[in-house]
Structure 1
Amino acid sequence: MPSTTDRPDGSEDPFAVAEALQSVVRETEPLSPGDRPDRTTSRDTEPFDFERFDRETRERRVRAREARDGGSRAPEPRDAGPPAPEQPDATTPAGSRTAAERTGTDRTAAERTAADRTAAERAGADRTAAERNGTRRADTEPVTDVRETVLVDDAVLGRRETVRLPSQRRPPESRRSSRAPLPIAVAFATTWAALFTYLPVAAVIGLARTLEGSGGIGGAAHAGLAGWMLGHGVPVGTSIGPLAITPLLLTVLVVWRLSAAGLHVTRAMGARHSGSAPRALLVAVAVGVTYSLMGTAGAHLVDGRGTEVSAVEAALHFLVLGVAGAGLGSLRGTGAVSTLARRLHPILRHGIRSGLVAAFLILAAGAVAGGLSLALGGGSAAEMIAAYRTGVAGQAGITLLSIAYAVNASVWSTAYLLGPGFALGTDSAIRLTEVTVGPLPTLPLLAGLPPGPMGAWGALLLTLPVIAGGAAGWLLTQRLRHGRQGPGRQQRPKRRGAEVPEPSWSLLVGASLLSGPVAGVTLGLLSWASGGALGDGRLSRIGPDPVQVGLVAAVIAGVAVLLGTASARLFAPARRS
């Protein structure tokens, strides 16, 4: 076939391209179903070799052209690189040889370019056909990997088993072995709690004594240690008689710091969130014994310098407070409170909780009433402070002393609201229907005493404890409605917008009746701790009667909590979930 002339733009010969395409089409063979690529094969199969495919295509093209031309031209060597230039023949003219060489070179270049392009198009076509055949085959084959369709519905999700997430990961053994030993942890935590509660008392008393010129640092430390003993309920003997009125605000501070000490020791020994009651008891006893030794040492230091303190009584008081305070912290740290609560009967568990809530709500009502009465008598309190004529430091000391006994005054006010009242000396009574007192010390805290019987206003004041107990009952019903699932409660609704089921009447009545004695015991103990003696004279009996306060509080709290739970059950509609 004659070749075209050289083109200036270097484009290919269209006749050569057409010839190459026809040869490729003739040599194309359809793929059998077994040779088609399968999409189900794994990704680890051998990839397609495009270079090998191009090389084999060129060889088949050369063999077909040789068979068509009759073997007039030798086949190209495989991967031999570019062809070597032909040597001119001596019998052929120079011009003829140059034209022939140029014609052969153009034709060879055009054929190679067409072959390369055809091979690339063929490879792309094969890949496209393979993918298309694989897709069709995948569409026709049955699907074996079928996943279950999950219906997102509240009812379906409610029937599924609840998966509890794992708790905090435990440290490795290497870190456990590096924890502090129990004696060192107990000694450090207990010493820090003792210093934290002693230093404020010593600083306040020392400041007042230093500014008034009544002693140096040694005298301030001694007086502060005596006040620290008094804050633990240890009577301190003086020249006028025993001082046995415990400042309960200092006692609250002591219990708080001992609770923190128990929590720190629990962490140090690796028992946090363990739920172990024996380990919590071990921590409480260890801290209590150590704190008792400190109290005994402090009693020996205070005794014999104008004050008398019994070492045995100090050891006992410090032991009780140490075990109680550290026990609160260790139980909270180990989580044994929740473990023990789950083992109790629902009536017992909710009754104890509601009784404590009712007791502290009644105490809060008494604190509000006492604070309001003291605010109304603020002018008399200011005159009492000014009557001391001790300067700024003395007046500050008297004010801080009154603040230290603020919790005691709240308990006395609560006893006043409940009815039994309290006493400020022998043959004295301060209650709603009677006010009989003798000469009283000039203390700003006593400026809020009622001037006489309340009359008709007393009936209104008696409703405050009832309202507080009713609030505790209402909280009990709401907690049983919307709290955690437990025995005695119906199943909570699984879908949103459904009515919340009501708690059973047996649970409400049983817990309400039990809350009364719990509240009575709590307020009775607080009444006993708030009273005491101020010398051997007429002020040897100060505070409410714990037995009377406990009995009256039990009756009022039990009835009020029952009324509150019944009202919430009948008249307060349950909210939708």
Structure 2
Amino acid sequence: MSSTTDRPSGSEDPFAVAEALQSVVRDTAAIDRQRPAAAPEDRPTEAIPAGDRPAGIAPDDEGRHDTVVVDDAMLGRRETVRVPLQRRPPQGGGAPLPVAALFATTWAALITYLPVAAVIGLARTLEGSGGLVAAAHAGLAGWLLGHGVPVGTSIGPLALAPLLLTVLVIWRLNRAGLHVTRAIGARRSGSFGRALLVGVAVGTAYALIGVLAAQLTDGRGTEISTGRAASHFLALGLAGALLGALRGTGAVSTLARRLPPALRHGIRTGLVAAFLIVGAGAVVGGLAVALGGAQAAEIIANYRTGVAGQAGITLISIGYAVNASIWVAAYLLGPGFAIGTDTAVRLTEVTLGPPPMVPLIAGLPEGPIGAAGTVLLALPVIAGTVAGWTLTQRLRFGRESAWRHARRKSKGKVAVADAEPPWLLVVASSLLAGPVAGLVLAALAWASGGALGSGRLSQIGPDPVQTGIVATIVVAVAVSLGASATRAFRRR
């Protein structure tokens, strides 16, 4: 039975009035269907239980319902607060593009430069030439080297870029492009033109930063070409920021939908295969260095520096870990790599001179692999086969993708596949994946090589042409086998 707090007669207590109103809205009143309907009242009514009847009500009135008068004028005199609607982000507009690009690019440059200056400052304890200014100058030179800008020294040009730093630079430029896209109000606009505009703005600002860094570094024991610095910074800034801007605007999906299906799936599968091969190289190279850990520790100890100097040498070696992964990938594919002029490190041949004394050489093979080592030849083929499996699974399940479908299947949630993909699409995509992977691995082989001076170590790294050709053949065959087998032998 409903109940309410009765308002005393003539009371002007606002709290009593509010309680009565709230009870009227919340509770329901009983309806006596036996009696004729009374005239409608403009004022809300509320049933009052007999036990709660105020004084003055006769006992013979039991069962009848009284009314509670709500003073609308009293409620109208109470103070009210207007609750504003939730503001929506403005469409378009935003910050000016030059300001947003300059701020985001400068922040990205600082984030990538400061760790380099700290690491090289530790490593300079080898020469006993510490100091903040010297560390800042050496850090600028190392930072420029990470962008692929050759640094001229007394022993010749240093042109072996630490690709781990390069990856960090591209990642931060990618974030800068994404932030600028949001700042100017172009997020999820789907506009390729605005994404390109963001990439050009960030690339131009980054080129100016590269010119400034080259001017500050040139002439203090190092020679830096301002033109090379500007071109390298512009290329990296444009590429990195354009990736982020395409993601931010959503234009990458628009561009992908405009490509033919075979080309779209071939590009995706080729990229997957290339990075799986590089990942296999990273695993094998890491195991090789770990097995030669005693030699690596001896090399570090021979520098006879303190803990800071040894930490700096170790961190510099880690900066070249991505280079080493690409070299091992070329080694697994067959062409191998060089550590100096007239040297070769292949599965069937190892010809070395005195190598540079860095911890990474602890993973170099001592000679050609034996019969037990031939299993390494299967790693690129396995990587290509896995990429082919993902191709067929994505064609089956669309955006569910192979990995997500496998994860759901392990949890007992089986996704329903679409119609089996046509053989022509599977084969065409597989064959196109080979050239894509070959181009990617050739570009990585070219970027990972370089020179350490003008002497015997002027040629380091794999041959890009040989690596690209072999990778094209291996990936095309392996992806075709994996995709075709998955298409033909699907478990029902």
TM-score (normalised: structure 2)? 0.79
* Structure 1 counterpart of 2:14: none
Number of residue equivalences: 404
- Mark the runs of 5 or more structure 1 residues left unpaired by the alignment: 1-45, 52-112, 121-168, 487-495
2:480 to 562, 570, 577: 562
Task: Name 1:501's counterpart in structure 2.
Answer: 419
Find 1:228's aligned residue among 143, 148, 159: 143
Match of 1:431 among 328, 333, 346: 346
State the 1:414 CA deviation. 0.2
> Could you say which residue in structure 1 is the equivalent of 2:172?
257
In 1, Cα distance between the equivalents of 2:229 and 2:174? 20
**Deviation string, structure 1 residues 212-256 (Cα, Å, up to 9, x no partner):** 641321111100000000000000000000000000000000000
Identify the residue that residue 396 of structure 1 maps to in structure 2. 311
- Return the match for 1:551 from 469, 478, 481: 469
Q: Are residue 472 (structure 1) and residue 387 (structure 2) matched?
A: yes
Deviation at 1:554, TM superposition (A): 0.4
Task: State the partner residue of 1:444.
Answer: 359
Moved over 4 A (4+): 496-500
Aligned to 1:387: 302
Quote the Cα distance in structure 2 between the aligned partners of 1:313 and 1:502: 51
In 2, Cα distance between equivalents of 1:50 and 1:517: 84
Q: Does 1:530 align with 2:445?
A: no
| 1:210 Cα deviation after fit | 6.0
Cα drift, residue 456 of structure 1: 1.6
Q: Distance in 2 between matches of 1:250 and 1:436?
A: 30
Deviations along 1:449-504, one digit per CA (max 9) or x if unpaired, are 00000032343111100000000000111111111499xxxxxxxxx997752111
Q: How many angstroms does 1:397 deviate by?
A: 1.1
Shift in Å, 1:171? 2.5
User: Sequence identity, in percent?
Assistant: 70
Give the secondary-structure state (helix, strand or coil) at the position aligned to 2:280: helix
The corresponding residue for 1:312 is 227
Aligned to 1:540: 458
Residue 204 of structure 1 deviates from its aligned partner by 1.7
2:293 is equivalent to residue 378 of structure 1: yes
Give the distance between the partners of 2:357 and 2:321, measured in 1 at CA.
16
Work out the CA distance in 2 between the residues paired with 1:469 and 1:375: 26
Aligned to 2:55: none
Gaps of 5+ in 2: 1-35, 42-59, 65-86, 402-413
C-alpha deviation, 1:541, in angstroms: 0.3
Are 2:282 and 1:359 equivalent residues in the alignment? no
The one-letter code matched in structure 1 to 2:361 is L
- Aligned partner of residue 468 in structure 2, secondary structure: helix
| 1:212–1:393 Cα contact (<8 Å) kept | no
Change (3 A) 1:211 1:415: closer
- Please report the RMSD computed on the Cα atoms of aligned residues, expressed in angstroms: 2.3
Q: In the alignment, residue 554 of structure 1 is paired with which amino acid?
A: T
1:198 equivalent to 2:113? Answer: yes
Conservation of the 8 A alpha-carbon contact between 1:296 and 1:311: yes
Structure ranking higher on relative contact order (CA contacts 8 Å, 6+ apart) = 2
Larger Rg: 1
Query: How many angstroms apart in 1 are the aligned matches of 2:241 and 2:417?
Result: 44
- 2:196 equivalent to 1:281: yes
Aligned partners of 2:452 and 2:458 also within 8 Å: yes
In structure 2, do the counterparts of structure 1 residues 211 and 434 end up closer, same or farther at CA, with 3 Å as the change threshold? Answer: closer
**Structure 1 residue 205: deviation in Å?**
1.8
* Equivalent residues of 1:351, 1:512 under 8 A apart: yes
1:245 aligns with 2:167: no
Paired with 2:120 and 2:239, the residues of 1 have a C-alpha distance of 28
Q: Which moved more, 1:294-303 or 1:457-466?
A: 457-466
Q: Does 1:266 align with 2:184?
A: no
